[in-house]
Structure 1
Amino acid sequence: MAATAGERPPSPIWSCPELGLHALVGATGAVRLGGPDRDWDCLVPLVEVTATGHGRLWSGERSIETALGDRLALRGHETVRHGGLERTTIRLADAVTGLAAEVTLERGGSAGAHEGAAGRGPGVGDGSGGFLRARVRLVNEGGAPVRLEGVTTLTLGGMTGADGTLDGLTLHWADNDWLAECRWRRSPYRDEVVPLNRSAHGHEGRGCFERYSQGSWSTGRHLPMGALTDRDGGAWLWQIESGAGWRFETGEREGCAYLALSGPDDAHHQWHQVLAPGEEFTTVPAVLVRTRTGGLDAAFGILTDHRRGIRHDHPDHRELPVIYNDYMNTLMGDPTTEKLLPLVEAAGAAGAEVFVIDAGWYDDDAQGWWDSVGAWEPAPGRFPGGVHEVLDAIRRQGMTPGLWLEPEVVGVRSPLARTLPDEAFFRRGGLRVTEHGRHHLDLRHPAARAHLDRVVDRLAGEWGVGYLKLDYNINAGPGTENGSESPGAGLLGHHRAHLDWMASLLVRHPGLVLENCGSGGLRMDYAQLAVAQVQSTSDQQDPLRYPPIAASAATAVTPEQAGVWAYPQPDQSLDEIAFTLAGALLGRVHLSGFLDRMSDEQFGLVRRAVRVYKDVRHEIASAHPVWPLGLPKWDDAWIAHGLRGRTATFLTVWRRAAGPGAPGSGSRTLPLPHLRGVHLTPEVLHCGPSGAAVRWDAAGGLLTVSLPRTGTAALLRLDVPA
């Protein structure tokens, strides 16, 4: 470790061997995070703070190299252990402003893989990987206000490939959009962060590779995640847990890569916050996963267990009931008693355990319901005998009744838009925000929260509804200004109040299940998924376009929370029905379709698929995702997604088009290195009448799957002998 002449070398105050990270303190008390064998100059301060009047030391687009972050000096630190977690608090202070930072680092060891059988890979606690979860609390202990413009939750430097350079690193990120969620992309690191010749200027570059959210759809553009992998199977994987503004960046510093994970900032989210003396601010959490072997599959296994560990405990995560929802490719927001009763009977006969009446149940408006929502009362014209006639029919079929709700919006034509005060809504420049015919509630206001409490207590309490699909179909922009606050600060404040409101519902109604939906997967973040039980993964209606979303959903959400549509129809062939059902069988089944109009043969295929799901679902809640062909591209002909359980590996394989290989090739070989050397007999659990053939090569750990037709899929089980 290099040190300036006459100075003592930096010394470690904290270490995390699983991640290969050390917190080092320098001669001035500055604390930096990175590898133990890295030069001090390639590391970055543990906390970077952009504040008005205290900018950067080197101007550019980066959130690092801030003047205030550089001045923060060590005040003290302590470590406590609780269960399987170790929590370290590092306290820093800036002598100029009086700003104090309390950095909380929670670490956990290797999560995942299951040890004991030959070829199964690393096991829990073997040191092959782990995670670090960070959060920063700032307190103004000085005598003057400090205007914050950005605060990092976690920064670290000194990242390279196993060869000590950046040349072998690959950068991964996920684009996200309506109907096209979880589209992972990869690029050589050097294609995104190009090498610069520093010999002339002596400075680093001014730019970086960045991804960030925009507006109130937290995943409307990208997932709040990214990764770096090296050629030897090592991986860094990160996640920012925010529904109200996030950003990550990576760039080069002294020949190494650095990483900065943040919540909202001024430049990207119109966020700033003034801390008066004595006031404080806490950042959104962020998580870093590190594995030395196993690549992204191993890293996502650790992240999956971390996600399970931070969730609100709920029976739904273990029971995984089959959900029928009347919306997708079926009633499409036009439910009536006449249309629903046959679907209720058919869904119950198919094996569904929850029946959700989706959008439109409140609509009796000749001009349409979109801009008139808010009261959430049943529409008499749709339910001549009352909505309870349908709710009771659902219960008679042994299913839990559910309803769709979009709680955060009030239509501009709704009576609530006139009776609630202006302060209960998002406002900017003193005017109510209006987006696509809706106003947006601010759940920090007691009138807004009281209104929604009354609605949910009526639905879940008086009506006995046990499942609420909470949708969110507008992007309200940067946020709301309440007095002098910035829009981004208003959005973060509302977001935290929204999480508190959802948690309070589960306290008052412990059996209630909450589904998180944002026009499909546009709010797929683990701030909200730590509270909600189920996540809608997409509104995609084309069964041939859903597989890459269904296969990649486990990157963004635990498998047992990933609601995937399965919408078989009476006008489909048996192979097409099997195809659309297959994608949901390793997640959460969101069954839809006109089941009541199917032939006996078609309906029998649906019932068998539901039975298969019920046979395997007890494995899903503790299994870890794998992608034998890698994370899928949008147009891949063959896609494979699996789950590694404790006694078996399950694989869903889709063939959407001919190839690769010879024209019309109907086979694809999947590498399963964790099963290499294990002698087993693969079993086809689900497929269409065209069939599926499998061949296992134990020595090579290779599974060859044959699907003779395009537009077919199969679910396979590979049991490991006891």
Structure 2
Amino acid sequence: MSSPATQTIVDWHTDSLDIRIALDEAGAPCIEYIQSHGLAPSKFTSPYFESATLPLNGVRVAGQGQGLYKTAKSLAGGVLSARLKYKSHVERDSGKSKALDIVSTDELAGLEVTHHFQIFTGAPVLRSWTTVKNTSDTVQILNQVSSLSLGGLSAGTEDWYNNYSVYTANNTWFRELQWQERSLSDVGIDEVGLHALFQGHKATMASFSLSNRGSLTTETHFPMGALKRKDDDHVWLWQIESGGAWRWEIGDWQDSLYLVLGGPTLVDHAWQLDLAPGASFSSAPVALSRTSGGIDNAFAAMNDYRRHIVRPHPDHEYMPIIFNDYMNCLMGDPDENKIKALLQPALDCGAEYYVIDAGWYADEVDWWADVGEWEPSSKRFPSGFKTMIDTIRNAGLVPGIWLEPEVVGVRSAVAKQLPEEAFFQERGRRIEERQRYQLDFTHPAVQERMHRIFGQLVEEYGIRYFKIDYNIEVVTGSDVHDGMSTGAAHFAHQRAYMDWIEELQSRHPGLILENCASGGQRMEYALLSLHTLQSTSDQQNPLLYAPVAAAAPTAVIPEQSASWAYPQREWSDEKNAFTVMNTMMGRVHLSGRIDALDAHQLELVREGMQVYLRIRKDFLTARPFWPLGLPAWQDDWITLGMSKTDGNVLLAVWRRAGSTSLRLPLPGREHLLSAKVLYPESFEAEVAIRNGVLDIRLPDTPCARLILLEA
């Protein structure tokens, strides 16, 4: 049998989580348990092992392999991880959060590793990251620096391989945030008889991981995951805040489950970093929650945590209605007459901002390969762009524009003005993707030029809102940096870009920055901690947008989560109300040809926006839940609830097909006694609460309703 952790070095208590850090038999620090505050930790049970702890620091250097831990491709363990010995620790309390730093050293490699923990008051979520410092007099080559390694997640659970499910989220263009629940067996983790045959063998070769490489950080999969015990005794939910490449992994370890979270690695992302003597590198922050009572509570806790790490902005308190003229509207082809026609209808609907989307800088419609100068088109705005912006402002709307700062079109004059090192390169050639070049924000000329452009747009034109988009993908980093791998160069660019975003916010206080990358292809909290709000999708079909809008609170807090409403004259009233409903449980991105709507249709949109104005501040503290479970792409009925601080509930219901009636149990909400439709108020609907069940009957056509449930 393996030896348990030998010595406790700190019992760390916060208002929401208790954590014990102990040393294993080799003297490496490890997390012995994470438990809800005040509860006794689960007792580890196994016929083969006394402990399932894993070394805390998943650090790998060149030339040192896996040792006794899993396979060589696994994130877990490694020779150096087991050798890093505990040196010291320090605790801090800021009043808003508690912090714990664990310092470990390895004299042979000449490395000092500090593992940082942080827990914010009121949020049962552990934030974690690692700093590696080279204390030797020679260069050390890093291949991996994980942000959190934790064993024993299934401690106290017999037959654990049959008692947990894993949640992952697909996140593709037009189809964002689609969660799936699978058994451990379905992802290849199961009892295989290894321990009984080979006493003391620590683990099988099985693991399950997701990762992403490239500049679209949430393309294909979202950097989150969850493990849920089937009886809802506890849920582990995590997110990675990388801003670049990332990977997470689960697997079996000493008859239990382990989890490793981190940013780029050599194996997955060609990331290898030469760490000079005295230099340091910090990994991407990650967040891990432990909650009970089901997956909804886990997402609510993660949203509580996200509110702590987001850069404060008055926009989040006010949550203004934003009209953007792109989606199912001008579609990147604006001019002053088209915009003027939209201003009064936007005001009539309740809009407070007007954002001119793509095309304002180009004389022709075919502008894709010409972008980069970001100078207003005199052809589109013959009266002058300043006059256009003043017209928007004089109408009572705050002006904003779209911009894509990381790219330069191959036909742009800027492509010849900047030095070669300012662009991503491969073997002496610029990397071209979709007729565009990728700028490298580690180059001073790039940052200086973009600060100058944004400064002029803010100071000369009075722009107060920028939709910052990104619509190509570069998988590899630039190879022009001496002694730096392409993966390390890519990660350095992404961190430099985030530094530039933070500096932009500091130079222009109150400026609203929207994060967009072909919709939600960069929808993660390294960027969202710095940006004001997030575009959730480019989906243009309102019926297909519903599962995206309903799943949005799994990934983004409501005050940052902007979904589109784009009513059209040729649509039925039910379809126009449906598209309005898609935007009402977070931030409003209003669009569509509202200038073509008749008076009745315009009033339907206005009614929705007036309801939104009454409820929007509820979302600042509301906690999400999904009465029908997390939405699936082809579900007939979709629901999203928001529990308000007064105990009442806002419930969005979308019916796309199937039965016209729904019986919706409300477990844990027996105090709710009445139901009424808030929007659209006069449309056909029957809603009533009877014996703790909400009965809903809707028309036999795709439709959506906002319902208030009250005590």
TM range (shorter): over 0.9
Query: CA 1:40/1:523 → structure 2, altered by over 3 Å: closer, same or farther?
Result: farther
| 2:157 alignment counterpart | 163
| 1:324 alignment counterpart | 323
Query: CA 1:246/1:566 → structure 2, altered by over 3 Å: closer, same or farther?
Result: same
Q: Give the deviation of 1:109 after TM superposition.
A: 5.2
Partners of 2:98 and 2:119 within 8 A in 1: yes
| 1:693 alignment counterpart | 686
| 2:252 alignment counterpart | 252
| 2:701 alignment counterpart | 710
RMSD: 1.8
Secondary structure (helix, strand or coil) at the match of 1:683 reads strand
Q: TM-score, normalised by structure 2?
A: 0.94
Query: Equivalences for 1:449-468 in 2 at 5 Å?
Result: 449-468=447-466
| 1:527 alignment counterpart | 526
* C-alpha distance in structure 2 between counterparts of 1:152 and 1:279, whole Å: 18
Q: TM-score, normalised by structure 1?
A: 0.92
Q: Alignment partner for residue 135 of structure 2, among 132, 137, 141?
A: 141
* C-alpha distance in structure 1 between counterparts of 2:681 and 2:473, whole Å: 40
Partners of 2:176 and 2:548 within 8 A in 1: yes
Q: Give the deviation of 1:688 after TM superposition.
A: 7.2
Query: CA 1:256/1:20 → structure 2, altered by over 3 Å: closer, same or farther?
Result: farther
Q: Give the deviation of 1:704 after TM superposition.
A: 2.0
- Tell me the alpha carbon deviations over residues 398-424 of structure 1, each in whole angstroms, 9 at most, x when there is no partner: 111110000010111111110100111
| 1:215 alignment counterpart | 214
Query: Equivalences for 1:31-46 in 2 at 5 Å?
Result: 31-35=29-33, 37-38=43-44, 41-46=51-56
Which one-letter code corresponds to 1:391 in the other structure? I
Q: Give the deviation of 1:232 after TM superposition.
A: 2.6
Q: Give the deviation of 1:63 after TM superposition.
A: 1.0
| 2:36 alignment counterpart | none
Query: Equivalences for 1:310-389 in 2 at 5 Å?
Result: 310-365=309-364, 368-389=366-387
* C-alpha distance in structure 2 between counterparts of 1:427 and 1:71, whole Å: 38
* C-alpha distance in structure 2 between counterparts of 1:609 and 1:691, whole Å: 16
* C-alpha distance in structure 2 between counterparts of 1:84 and 1:382, whole Å: 50
| 1:118 alignment counterpart | none
* C-alpha distance in structure 2 between counterparts of 1:161 and 1:46, whole Å: 17
Query: CA 1:16/1:492 → structure 2, altered by over 3 Å: closer, same or farther?
Result: farther
Which one-letter code corresponds to 1:297 in the other structure? D
* C-alpha distance in structure 2 between counterparts of 1:256 and 1:161, whole Å: 7
Say whether residues 1:670 and 2:664 are aligned partners.
Answer: yes
Q: Alignment partner for residue 79 of structure 1, among 91, 100, 105?
A: 91
Q: Alignment partner for residue 90 of structure 1, among 72, 85, 102?
A: 102
Which one-letter code corresponds to 1:694 in the other structure? V
Which one-letter code corresponds to 1:108 in the other structure? F
Secondary structure (helix, strand or coil) at the match of 2:268 reads helix
Indicate the larger mover: 197-206 or 582-591: 197-206
Q: Give the deviation of 1:86 after TM superposition.
A: 1.1
Secondary structure (helix, strand or coil) at the match of 2:501 reads helix
- Tell me the alpha carbon deviations over residues 360-404 of structure 1, each in whole angstroms, 9 at most, x when there is no partner: 1111147x2111100101111111111223212211221111100
* C-alpha distance in structure 1 between counterparts of 2:106 and 2:599, whole Å: 73
Q: Give the deviation of 1:227 after TM superposition.
A: 0.3
* Unaligned runs of at least 5 residues, structure 1: 112-129, 659-664
Query: Equivalences for 1:620-659 in 2 at 5 Å?
Result: 620-647=619-646, 648-658=648-658
* C-alpha distance in structure 2 between counterparts of 1:535 and 1:41, whole Å: 43
- Tell me the alpha carbon deviations over residues 428-453 of structure 1, each in whole angstroms, 9 at most, x when there is no partner: 22322111111111112111011101
| 1:291 alignment counterpart | 291
* C-alpha distance in structure 1 between counterparts of 2:419 and 2:602, whole Å: 51
Secondary structure (helix, strand or coil) at the match of 1:633 reads coil
Which one-letter code corresponds to 1:680 in the other structure? L
Partners of 2:11 and 2:18 within 8 A in 1: no
* C-alpha distance in structure 2 between counterparts of 1:380 and 1:594, whole Å: 24
* C-alpha distance in structure 2 between counterparts of 1:633 and 1:242, whole Å: 27
Secondary structure (helix, strand or coil) at the match of 1:176 reads strand
| 1:122 alignment counterpart | none
Say whether residues 1:187 and 2:197 are aligned partners.
Answer: no
Q: Give the deviation of 1:280 after TM superposition.
A: 1.1
* C-alpha distance in structure 2 between counterparts of 1:47 and 1:21, whole Å: 16
Query: CA 1:242/1:496 → structure 2, altered by over 3 Å: closer, same or farther?
Result: same
- Tell me the alpha carbon deviations over residues 245-284 of structure 1, each in whole angstroms, 9 at most, x when there is no partner: 1100000112110000010111111111011221111001
Partners of 1:214 and 1:221 within 8 A in 2: no
Secondary structure (helix, strand or coil) at the match of 1:34 reads strand
* C-alpha distance in structure 1 between counterparts of 2:484 and 2:283, whole Å: 17
Partners of 1:629 and 1:671 within 8 A in 2: no
Query: Equivalences for 1:46-125 in 2 at 5 Å?
Result: 46-58=56-68, 59-108=71-120, 110-111=122-123
Say whether residues 1:174 and 2:173 are aligned partners.
Answer: no
- Tell me the alpha carbon deviations over residues 623-679 of structure 1, each in whole angstroms, 9 at most, x when there is no partner: 111111111111000000121121231111000111xxxxxx212122332322x14
| 1:236 alignment counterpart | 236
* C-alpha distance in structure 2 between counterparts of 1:679 and 1:215, whole Å: 47
* C-alpha distance in structure 1 between counterparts of 2:11 and 2:488, whole Å: 32
* C-alpha distance in structure 2 between counterparts of 1:499 and 1:461, whole Å: 22
Secondary structure (helix, strand or coil) at the match of 2:306 reads helix
Query: Equivalences for 1:11-22 in 2 at 5 Å?
Result: 11-15=8-12, 18-19=16-17, 21-22=19-20
Query: CA 1:549/1:299 → structure 2, altered by over 3 Å: closer, same or farther?
Result: same
Partners of 1:359 and 1:405 within 8 A in 2: yes
Query: CA 1:666/1:416 → structure 2, altered by over 3 Å: closer, same or farther?
Result: same
Partners of 1:373 and 1:411 within 8 A in 2: yes
Q: Give the deviation of 1:108 after TM superposition.
A: 3.5
Which one-letter code corresponds to 1:220 in the other structure? E
Partners of 2:120 and 2:308 within 8 A in 1: no
Q: Give the deviation of 1:161 after TM superposition.
A: 7.1
Q: Give the deviation of 1:16 after TM superposition.
A: 5.1
Partners of 2:470 and 2:517 within 8 A in 1: yes
Q: Give the deviation of 1:184 after TM superposition.
A: 0.5
Aligned residues: 688
* Unaligned runs of at least 5 residues, structure 2: 34-40
Partners of 1:216 and 1:479 within 8 A in 2: no
Say whether residues 1:196 and 2:189 are aligned partners.
Answer: no
* C-alpha distance in structure 2 between counterparts of 1:329 and 1:679, whole Å: 39
Q: Give the deviation of 1:27 after TM superposition.
A: 3.9
Partners of 2:97 and 2:120 within 8 A in 1: yes
Indicate the larger mover: 426-435 or 682-691: 682-691
Partners of 1:579 and 1:687 within 8 A in 2: no
* C-alpha distance in structure 1 between counterparts of 2:374 and 2:117, whole Å: 43
Query: Equivalences for 1:289-688 in 2 at 5 Å?
Result: 289-292=289-292, 294-365=293-364, 368-481=366-479, 482-647=481-646, 648-658=648-658, 665-676=659-670, 678-687=671-680
Partners of 1:213 and 1:246 within 8 A in 2: yes
Which one-letter code corresponds to 1:456 in the other structure? F
Which one-letter code corresponds to 1:717 in the other structure? L
| 1:277 alignment counterpart | 277
Q: Give the deviation of 1:477 after TM superposition.
A: 1.1
- Tell me the alpha carbon deviations over residues 179-227 of structure 1, each in whole angstroms, 9 at most, x when there is no partner: 0100101101232113222144545222311011121100011111000
* C-alpha distance in structure 1 between counterparts of 2:640 and 2:359, whole Å: 35
Q: Give the deviation of 1:162 after TM superposition.
A: 6.0
Percent sequence identity is 40
Secondary structure (helix, strand or coil) at the match of 1:545 reads helix
Q: Give the deviation of 1:529 after TM superposition.
A: 0.2
Indicate the larger mover: 622-631 or 187-196: 187-196
* C-alpha distance in structure 1 between counterparts of 2:497 and 2:641, whole Å: 34
Secondary structure (helix, strand or coil) at the match of 1:33 reads strand
Secondary structure (helix, strand or coil) at the match of 1:546 reads helix
